[in-house]
């Protein structure tokens, strides 16, 4: 596991830490399957709380909190 020095919602920073952990394990990549990643206590950017500024990019928190588009009702593919 990795503990970051400061809270972040930067996907790039989280990915970099995940890659460091992967390299530290010194595993054969041919043996790797079903790798998962868990993040906790995500926080938004403190630089621009409005989320509207030009410096604000898409973050993991944005992705998780994004509203899903309304879908049209699907028909049951299996007739009864």
| HSE of 54, CA atoms in CB hemisphere, 13 A | 0
Percent helix, percent strand, percent coil in the chain, to nearest 5: 30, 0, 70
Please state the pTM of the whole predicted model: 0.49
Q: pLDDT tens digits for 7-59? A: 877 888 888 888 898 889 888 878 888 888 887 776 665 555 444 444 456 66
Q: pLDDT tens digits for 59-68? A: 677 777 777 6
């Amino acid at each position: 596991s990795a503990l970051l020095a400061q809270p972040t919602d930067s996907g790039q920073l989280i990915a970099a830490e995940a890659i460091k952990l992967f390299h530290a394990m010194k595993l054969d990549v041919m043996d790797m399957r079903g790798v998962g990643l868990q993040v906790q206590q995500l926080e938004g950017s403190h630089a621009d709380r409005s989320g509207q500024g030009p410096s604000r990019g898409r973050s993991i928190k944005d992705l998780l909190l994004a509203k899903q588009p309304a879908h049209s009702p699907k028909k049951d593919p299996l007739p009864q």
